[in-house]
Amino acid sequence: MTWQDLAANKKAHVSDAIPPEWRLKTTPSTDSVMSVPKESGILTDQELAITEASGADLVKDLASGKLSSVAVTTAFCKRAALAHQLVNCLHDFLPAFALARARYCDEYLDKHKKPIGPLHGLPISLKDQARIKGFETTMGYAGWIGKIDQRNSVLVDLLDKAGAVFYVKTSVPQSLMVCETINNVFGRTLNPRNKNWSSGGSSGGEGAIIGFRGSVIGVGTDIGGSIRTPAAFNFLYGLRPSHGRLPYARMANSMEGQETIHSVCGPLAHSVGDLRLFTTAVLEQQPWNFDSKVVPMPWRQGEADAVKAKVSAGGLTLGYYSCDGNVLPHPPVLRAVQTVVDKLKGAGHAVLPWEPYKHPYAVDLANRVYASDGGADIHSALKLSGEPAIPNINDLVNPSLEKLDINEVWQCQLDKWNYQMEYLAAIRNFEAKTGRELDAIIAPVTATAAILHNQFKYYGYATVINVLDFTSVVVPVTFADKNIDVKAAGFTPLTDLDATVQEGYDPEAYHGAPAAVQIIGRRFTEERVMAIAEEIGRLLHS
């Protein structure tokens, strides 16, 4: 069987899982598909209300019995089915499996008069790296089709213990290593706000389905921006925790065993409250007892409360930067950063310029790490079926680069460690000069708002944070406006890549595209950074 046959069968399998009564009779011709759930008539008024509620509200109603898990799961399955038909965001659709679990949750609540756990009966979407026993994890490779997982990923086990329901596995780019979600099996995932825009990557299916509200909270992963870019492009919040805070064990991955820059798991959602719900629910299951890399660190409410006290007193100290020295962001992103700075200053907080410390160096270091095997892992997966590499892969994992030998790998690891310590020294110097403790840094997530397909060129704004292993939370800010976000006259490019990125800016094409910032804190500051992000969101959108 050819790889094309394998891909066609897998794609048909997912489509066939959608019941006939959930299928659209016609596909809208508009660029945006955000209005389809209300206009299609496929969801009831109650189902629309359920899918547009917050996760925090839903778990309260599920725990009290006000809503049944069957009703909530059905609503999200229907909206997810619409999402897939419109923007191609699923690698697996599991309504029968999900509804069986939902019925169990309802029966448990009825029998025991208490919920299973903090996520009782709540549907959670999973990026197609998360393994569910009995199902496939293709990860966008034709050669992985037909391999049935024999065990759950640790995170899946713990979410199950917390009471979650699993109903979809969402799309990723071939190999995961690009910020545009496309593979040879399913094709391209689109942005529901405008099908001409990317949904981001590699958690692009999560970005699309949550942006469409076919999911309320989803699991992504991030080694170079793969949670943060989809969050930014779909006007969502996203948490990139430090390595060791949440479990990653038994997730599928490219380049397994690469230990210099770690991929991490984290949630995407419509609010910081839902990021917190997910994080606290997982930490409540004591993941350090199941994944040896997880640090025994329960949720520290005192850390969040300390930030809230500073917020109340107008006493946060935040750094910010708009340019990393490699590539200047497009006008909508520059405006997003300035909007956040102005809002915080208006609330009485100290917001001071931060000089990005050797970011171009860190970007180059990351690129060496990502290509350290010369692309051998990815290309061995492609050889299983004979499928070609997607063009985007060579932008980040260039097979023409020579493999690093073990001593060169060790040097990369030492270079990373030294860079991390130098960055801490830069923070200490900032604090000594200002006489203030630096609470966090405000920065672009990417150089662009939600980008046109095949135009994503620069990963550096996100990747540096992976090198540092800092905590980062994406905050959605604004939308590109062709009347405001005009090209700067007389701009001199910083680099050749900068010239390419600037050439790609078209105010008309980007009109309405989501633009975001990331709030960056030191390692293991998830509670603090989420609290800061929540305050920024309140200032922006109250």
Question: What architecture is the 3-24+34-362+421-541 domain classified under in CATH?
Answer: Alpha-Beta Complex (3.90)
d(CA 445, CA 461): 6
The ranges assigned to domains in the chain are 3-24+34-362+421-541
Residue 123 dihedral angles phi and psi, to the nearest 5° = -70, 130
pLDDT for 517: 98
pLDDT for 166: 99
pLDDT for 294: 98
pLDDT for 397: 67
d(CA 387, CA 142): 7
The 10 Å CB-count burial string (b at 16+, else e) for 283-309 is: bbbebbebbeebeeeebeeebbeebbe
Please check whether residue 495 is in contact with residue 261, taking contact to mean a CB–CB distance below 8 angstroms: no
Peptide bond into 202 cis (omega under 30): yes
CA of 480: how far to CAs of 336, 344, 483, in Å? 9, 21, 9
Q: Which two tokens stand for residue 403?
A: 């493999």
DSSP-derived 3-state class of residue 5: helix
Q: Which residues are catalytic?
A: 127, 202, 226
Which residues participate in the annotated binding site? Answer: 176, 202, 223-226
DSSP-derived 3-state class of residue 514: strand
Q: pTM value?
A: 0.98
pLDDT for 391: 83
DSSP-derived 3-state class of residue 105: helix
Which residues participate in the annotated binding site for substrate? Answer: 176, 202, 223-226
d(CA 445, CA 202): 14
**What pLDDT tens digit does each residue of the chain (542 aa) get?**
999 999 999 999 999 999 999 999 999 999 999 999 999 999 999 999 999 999 999 999 999 999 999 999 999 999 999 999 999 999 999 999 999 999 999 999 999 999 999 999 999 999 999 999 999 999 999 999 999 999 999 999 999 999 999 999 999 999 998 999 999 999 999 999 999 999 999 999 999 999 999 999 999 999 999 999 999 999 999 999 999 999 999 999 999 999 999 999 999 999 999 999 999 999 999 999 999 999 999 999 999 999 999 999 999 999 999 999 999 999 999 999 999 999 999 999 999 999 999 999 999 999 999 989 988 999 899 999 999 999 877 766 666 678 999 999 999 999 999 999 999 999 999 999 999 999 999 999 999 999 999 999 999 999 999 999 999 999 999 999 999 999 988 889 999 999 999 999 999 999 999 999 999 999 999 999 999 999 999 999 97
Q: Label each residue of 121-137 as H, E or C.
A: CCEEEEECCCCCCCCEC
The 10 Å CB-count burial string (b at 16+, else e) for 104-133 is: ebbebbeeeeebbbbbbbbbbbbbbbbbbe
pLDDT for 399: 64
- What DSSP string runs through 217-285? EEEEEESSSTTHHHHHHTT-EEEEPPTTSS--TT---SSTT--SS--EEEEEESSHHHHHHHHHHHHTT
pLDDT for 496: 97
pLDDT for 395: 66
